[in-house]
Structure 1
Amino acid sequence: MRRILVFCLPAIGDFVRCHSAIQIIAEKFPGQPIDVISSPIAAPLTRLMPHVRKAWTVERRHWTLPLRERVHLARELRKENYQAAYLLTSSTKAALVPWLAGIPERIGYPRDLQFGIVNRLPADWWRAMVAFGPRKTRLFEQVCAIALLGRRPAEGTTLPAPRLLVSADELGNWRLRHGVDPARPALAIYTSEPADLRSWSVDRFLSTARDHVGRGWSVWLVGGPRERETAARIQAQLPEVVDFTSTPDIAEAVCQIAASTVFLGVDGGISHSAAAVGAPCVLVFGSNRSYPHGPVNERVTFLEPPVSTPSWVKGTSAVSEERVYEALAATVRKYAPQFA
């Protein structure tokens, strides 16, 4: 048996994108156990990820673990008898762990010159050390390149989009617990925090929520601690909205999104999760462009400033409420016509 460990990125959106690489690895080694290692905030998503057996967690982001903790983790990993480790993060601090654990095959790009610590390099690995051309490589493509060992996908094939699966039973149980009527349309809104340039105006979120409440929709505010301030401001002016930002973990938030009719959000990990679970999404982007940073799933509509927008225009202010209303209406007509 070839046990495989995948070192994933810690942020929620980056972790979701790592599932594309996991799917490629699972196809190459069918039936073999695949475990992942990531942050406590992202790890709950593994129970929704096909092909993943279990998750290890590292408390500190960017692998800033003291050497003693890294040695302890390596000892625990050694007990699992992993045969290969895919390093989707290029951190040397992360690469030390599978080396200390004695995992025979350690696959990744040596961006921090970890030669020897990383002992299997993708084809043409040296190209990743130098910037070529004006286009920035997407993280989605980078993690897939490691899983493919630097080889191009076969002719006519596409890289798999990330997937999160919520079972019908789990969805039904969630609706029962919260008294949600599946016959009533629901708009899930992810705002991020007000200080984040990636967010949209609170007043515009409020206007959109009020418009949908006025047409008989349920409106749910989803997210976590960073979104609670905005959720409280919206709910203070529109008590009909439901605030789900006290959700215990990200997997619960994905259930909320899967139960909604359409999702409206901005650039962030929750939006990547919404796209991966297959929710029809309208995503507002700003100075972070959608091509390098956005989800690659099919049911996503991106709204962003024109390419010609001056560089000093930051954030998402150039995306108007009218564009969002039109995009939401078109998305509902396409994916939930019974509520159009």
Structure 2
Amino acid sequence: MRPILVICLPAIGDFIRCHSAIQIIAKTFPGHPIDVITSPLAAPLARLMPHVRKAWTLDKRHRKPGIGERRRLAGRLREENYQAAYLLSSSTKAALVPWLAGIPERIGYPRELQFGIVNRLPAGWLKSLVAFGPRKTRLFEQVCAIAMLGARPAADTRLPAPQMAVSPEELSAWRIRHGIDAARPALALYTSEFTNFRSWPAERFISVARDHARRGWSVWLVGGPRERAAAAQIRAELPEAVDFTSTPDITDAMCQIAASTVFLGVDGGICHAAAALGGPCVLIFGSSRSYETGPVNDHVRFLEPPISTPSWVRDTRGVSEERVLAALADAVAGLHRPQGA
């Protein structure tokens, strides 16, 4: 069976959201291999996603056209004999690759007027092209609409949420490599930068971390270079916290999250990864409301300031420490509840 190519978005959170569309495509074309194109940063996550055979990388950060890089990738894609390409990214630069590769069917919304380069338009493409403000759909719904060729799902249809999985063997090897006691509960914290309006006050993260450490939990600080200063600030107050923010491999970060007992984080790509991995997950949102930008996985517990709170338009201070501790306790208790209870 001829493979199918999916051109995904480059940011970690956006790439993970694209997995909803990949699941729809896999159900529509059972047995067809599905490959993806995304950024070098997000590509390692593809191997954790069901239905994805392999990932091609394209650096989309630079502002230059990068025609040479795209021609080279297109030449390699031509050898794969793809039957169709789904363009979940609407940029012209992304659309050039399957066009240069000669993939016969190139499906997407022509938001940058790529008529001809994109040669199969989902139903309702014109309405999507001119939509703005409240009429625009969420990114999750946009990528699913492309995968369904613009067909409106039935009223009782649930669009698939993104999924990722770390194998038990890989998780066991990670624990051995880092000397992790699987029997000891662990709280994974994703703070973003404390100067970021999406984050939660440093003193509240420290208080929650100290509360769990006092009860015998491990506290793991996860993220990347942007979170290192925040991790150092937490460790200055709680030296026993483990700083994983220097992890060089993003799949290692996925092991950290998958091995934790519960994840507490704020809006960002890592929170989408934690949700897709399926473990207990408590997320704090502020002015970037969870409905618009948050994960769509049902098991996630969202905490947001009431809209009547003046601070909600600026930050997350309207979410109290008491609410977070209660949500974490409830998430952990849910691990021991019988299914359906």
- The reply to whether TM is greater than 0.5 is yes
CA distance in 1, matches of 2:85, 2:70: 15
TM-fit CA distance, 1:173: 1.6
Question: Could you report, residue by residue, the CA deviation over 1:130-167 in whole angstroms, capped at 9, with x for unpaired residues?
Answer: 22783541111110000000012246331100000111
Q: Aligned partners of 1:89, 1:45: CA distance in 2, in Å?
A: 18
Paired residue for 1:3? 3
Q: How far apart in 1 are the matches of 2:132 and 2:266?
A: 30
Shift of 1:129: 1.4
**Local SS of the residue matching 1:251:** helix
CA distance in 2, matches of 1:136, 1:114: 20
- Work out the CA distance in 2 between the residues paired with 1:223 and 1:292: 22
Q: How does 1:60-71 map to 2 (within 5 A)?
A: 60-61=60-61, 64-71=64-71
Query: Alignment partner of 2:220: what SS?
Result: strand
How many residue pairs match? The answer is: 338
In the other structure, the counterpart of 2:59 is 59
RMSD: 1.8
Q: After alignment, is 20-29 or 132-141 more displaced?
A: 132-141
Partner residue in 1 for 2:275: 275
Q: Given that residues 63 and 94 in structure 1 are in contact (C-alpha distance below 8 angstroms), is that contact kept between their aligned partners in structure 2? A: no
Matched-pair contact (CA < 8 Å) for 2:21–2:146: yes
- Aligned mates of 2:65, 2:207 — CA distance in 1: 45
Cα distance in structure 2, aligned partners of 1:178 and 1:239: 17
Q: Could you list the per-position Cα deviations for residues 36-55 of structure 1 after superposition, in whole angstroms to 9, with x for gaps in the alignment?
A: 01111111101100111111
Question: For 1:180-259, what aligned pairs fall within 5 Å after superposition?
Answer: 180-259=180-259
Cα distance change, pair 307–19 in 1 and its aligned pair in 2 (3 A):
same
* 1:131 counterpart = 2:134: no
Q: Which residue number corresponds to residue 264 of structure 1? A: 264
**Deviation larger for 313-322 or 44-53:** 313-322
The answer to whether the 8 A contact 2:208-2:321 is kept is yes
Q: SS in structure 2 opposite 1:61?
A: coil
- Provide the C-alpha distance between the structure 1 equivalents of 2:311 and 2:150, rounded to a whole number of angstroms: 34
Match of 2:145 in 1: 145
TM-score (norm 2): 0.95
Partner SS for 2:134: coil
The structure-2 alpha-carbon separation of the partners of 1:133 and 1:65, relative to structure 1 and needing over 3 Å to count, comes to closer
2:93 aligned partner: 93
What code does the residue aligned with 1:77 have? L
Q: How far 1:77 sits from its partner (Å)?
A: 1.5
Which deviates further from its counterpart, 228-237 or 124-133? 124-133
Correspondences of 1:100-115 after superposition (within 5 Å): 100-115=100-115
| TM-score of the aligned structures, taking structure 1 as reference length | 0.95
Which segments of 5 or more consecutive residues in structure 2 lack a partner in the other structure? Answer: none
Give the letter for the 1:290 counterpart.
S
User: Could you give the per-residue CA deviations for residues 91-121 of structure 1, whole angstroms, max 9, x where no partner exists?
Assistant: 0111111111111000000111111110000
Partners of 1:62 and 1:140 in 2: CA distance: 25
Deviation at 1:275, TM superposition (A): 0.3
Name the CA distance, whole Å, in 1 between partners of 2:277 and 2:288. Answer: 23
> Which stretch has the larger CA shift, 235-244 or 305-314?
305-314
1:22 alignment partner, SS class: helix
Distance in 2 between residues matched to 1:295 and 1:161, nearest whole Å: 8
**1:110 is aligned with what amino acid?**
P
Q: Is the CA contact (8 Å cut-off) linking 2:193 and 2:199 kept in structure 1? A: yes
Partner of 1:331: 331
Contact 2:19 2:163 in 1 (8 A): yes
Equivalent residue number for residue 163 of structure 1: 163
Alignment pair present for 1:316 and 2:277: no
